[in-house]
Amino acid sequence: MNKLFVVFPISGPNNGVKIISNHIIEKLRDKGVNLELIDLAQAREFSNFGRFEFSKVIQSFKILLKILSIPRKSFVYINFTAKGFAYYRDLFFIITSKFLSHKITLHIHENGHENRSSTFLKKLLKNINVVVINKRQLRNLSYLNNIYLLDNSLPDYNTNNSTDTKQQKLLFFSNLSILKGIDFLCDFCDLMYKEMKTPYKLTICGGVLDAYTEQRLNCLLKKYNFIEYLGAIESVEEKKKIFQKHSLLLFTSEENSEVYPLVYIEALMFGLGIITTKQVVSQKVVRNGNGLIISEINKEVFSDINSLLSTNVDEKSRQLYLKGYSFEDFISNLYKIIFREDDKFRTN
């Protein structure tokens, strides 16, 4: 039985990396892989994301001791953060792991490494397998020797394919911040109220990451009664119920700021149409008439939304998920990369 040491954020407030990490861990265990987990999570609450705190240095030292205890030449799977203190922390962990002759696979879930010295990274990551999740990352890091493109995926937890309970409601399901498009979201709501006699109901789910966003969100909630804010959703069962009751996902992050949002995949899984700002992978999930990619908010957007809701958008999205996001294939390919069965690796 293969043994794998997983160095990933596993606990703490919900974000995309934590969600996919836990699904990967569960599925690898199902395949019989003997896992030992080293939790990288250091944020205690949403406001801690990306902030330096001395306590994180202490935690990092404890994680380092765990990495030093991993036997030589073991298989090690590490999430490689691109920014802030966590970048230098992960860098030190990788160097330590290389010193111990570990067989390392890195998974990169965010932008930023393309801004680092290519000469330095090429030398550091020699003989290390690197997994990226979109074509822009692959292009920007193409100087690396062992790089693999593996689109994000999620297991199918839409156990009820019926659309009987769906309402013509919009769903915003993401943490909230400036980068996540709080200003775009507010402008969208303002114009929807102005242009439509009866605005669509909007449900907002997610943790608030900064004070400016909290202020803007509070103003929005006081201003309009068609908006419901549910906060951060931790329970998968609660998430299922929410997605099953909505028709469209509204995604407002700043243009091309996202790498491969898991909420896109969840929207397809539950048959939601997608209204989104332009992202690197938005054309991959918005096609065949199942959504809109918008660069600005104008009254035509709401006319297009009305037209979209008059079609079988639910079936179109669901089929895109079934045809393009097999979690079995995702795990099979990841397994081959981690355990050096690279010759069997197949891309979508």
- What is the predicted pLDDT for the residue at 43? 57
Q: Are residues 337 and 285 in the same domain?
A: no
Q: Are residues 55 and 119 in the same domain?
A: yes
Query: What is the rounded average pLDDT of the residues 34-61?
Result: 75
Q: Are residues 109 and 212 in the same domain?
A: no
- What is the predicted pLDDT for the residue at 30? 95
**Per-residue pLDDT tens digits for 253-275:** 999 999 999 999 999 999 999 99
Distance, in Å, from the CA atom of 31 to the CA atom of 161, rounded to the nearest integer, reads 27
Q: Are residues 242 and 98 in the same domain?
A: no
Domain count, the chain: 2
Residue 163 lies in a domain: no
Query: What is the rounded average pLDDT of the residues 295-299?
Result: 91
Q: Are residues 198 and 302 in the same domain?
A: yes
Q: Are residues 77 and 211 in the same domain?
A: no
Strand-pair partners of 7: 38, 78
Q: The domain that contains 215 carries what CATH number?
A: 3.40.50.2000
Q: Are residues 335 and 318 in the same domain?
A: no
Closest CA relative to residue 111, chosen from 213, 225, 241, 253: 253
User: Is the model's pLDDT at 348 over the cut of 50?
Assistant: no
User: Is the model's pLDDT at 316 over the cut of 80?
Assistant: yes
Closest CA relative to residue 16, chosen from 111, 89, 91: 111
Query: What is the rounded average pLDDT of the residues 96-110?
Result: 96
Strand-pair partners of 131: 107, 148
Q: Which residues contact 94 (CB under 8 A, 6 or more apart)?
A: 78, 80, 104, 106, 124, 125, 128
- What is the predicted pLDDT for the residue at 332? 95
Query: What is the rounded average pLDDT of the residues 66-83?
Result: 95
Distance, in Å, from the CA atom of 204 to the CA atom of 64, rounded to the nearest integer, reads 38
pLDDT category of residue 18 using cuts at 50, 70 and 90? confident
Q: Are residues 73 and 191 in the same domain?
A: no
Q: Are residues 190 and 269 in the same domain?
A: yes
Residue 20 lies in a domain: yes
User: How many Cα atoms sit within 13 Å of 197 on the Cβ side?
Assistant: 0
Domain of 263, in residue numbers: 169-324
- What is the predicted pLDDT for the residue at 45? 57
Distance, in Å, from the CA atom of 108 to the CA atom of 88, rounded to the nearest integer, reads 14
- What is the predicted pLDDT for the residue at 159? 80
Distance of CA 203 to the CA centre of its chain: 20
Q: Are residues 127 and 238 in the same domain?
A: no
User: Is the model's pLDDT at 102 over the cut of 80?
Assistant: yes
- What is the predicted pLDDT for the residue at 14? 73
Reduced to 3 states, what is the DSSP secondary structure of residue 169? strand
- What is the predicted pLDDT for the residue at 268? 97
Mean pLDDT estimate for the chain:
91
Query: What is the rounded average pLDDT of the residues 277-290?
Result: 95
